[in-house]
Structure 1
């Protein structure tokens, strides 16, 4: 009589099920806490459509509304800061960061392509640097724009809680609400941004202090295109 255990024996099925569960759990842990996203090409449609949260470090601020983001999946739980470290040198960061465009807002344009800088462009850049550079942030990616930037909400931890960076820039008069609704990404915060913009305008904060001399970033780009 054959005493061997067949493939359909309950013990075999139980063991197989356990192994499959372990593999699936391992893959889930890997994708959530270990695997890094280093280029926009690695962002899946699911990540862009389902409110996917990504944790990381701001390594460079290049303009008043965009920055470089080094993904640190899992944060401290993922080993960052004690087992894994964010590279410090520019050459080590090459091709390892996402270029993030803050959602819902537009900051004054800096000088480029032979066009002069807008008023408050340097103030907006310095404000953003002081607020997030070399800090850990959480982003929610929404889309990829024509310049291969990841349009995303960025949130940073402060003493008063988690703050939406786009909202804080509008609140302080360092940016306006994005003017082209056809291509804008607001998440669920458009009304909030517009309310903050109206208040900053009434109070003459930042670029709103220019009054009738103000040329919005959208108008400036259309004039200099």
Structure 2
């Protein structure tokens, strides 16, 4: 599905998370109209990879950066597996609403992701990861998207850091940004 630029910051999408690729990325099957359009009781979300191929939207959770998983010959960061496992358990095969902020250079949609629990409580998935010490607030010189939640995110990160939970329990913690910078310097 192509997201038009006029949808940025003005629209949200409702859908089912079909897979989690890493600690801050997921695949969303868009369900226009939600339950009112019959999704979940009249219309079914495909479950086979062959049926989902080309029909999901790649989502990058806004404002956070989870530890990097092993790829391209680079080792995984500590807590990369735990972050991905937690995110998978929390959102996979569940319905979410994503608030579209923009797209990135990899054609992923940068979005704030919300999930409902018990039908009435809405949770910000990125914020929950920060509270558990499974991600840092996203660090970049330009183009960081927080969807108006930067203060909230930074406060959650500071609280997790003080409590030494998750990644903050490590003695020599290297942030995902520092890790990426270190490996990009090795390439040069």
Q: TM-score, normalised by structure 2?
A: 0.95
Structure 2: give runs of 5+ residues left out of the alignment: none
1:74-223 equivalences under 5 Å are 74-159=33-118, 161-211=121-171, 213-223=172-182
Q: 1:44 offset after TM fit, Å?
A: 1.8
Q: Please report the TM-score for the alignment, with normalisation by the length of structure 1.
A: 0.79
Structure 1 or 2: more helix by fraction: 1
In 2, Cα distance between the equivalents of 1:217 and 1:71?
A: 29
Higher fraction of strand: 2
CA contact (8 A) 2:18 2:92 kept: yes
Task: State the aligned residue count.
Answer: 183
Select the structure with the greater relative contact order (CA < 8 A; seq sep ≥ 6).
2
Q: Deviations over 1:164-191 (max 9, x none)?
A: 0000000000000001151211011000
Any idea what SS the aligned residue of 1:49 has? coil
Pairwise CA RMSD of aligned residues? Answer: 1.0
**Where do 1:2-21 residues align within 5 Å?**
none
Q: Give runs of ≥4 in structure 1 deviating > 3 Å.
A: none
Which protein has the larger Cα radius of gyration, Structure 1 or Structure 2? 1
Correspondence 1:39-54 to 2 at 5 A: 39=1, 41=2, 43-50=3-10, 52-54=11-13
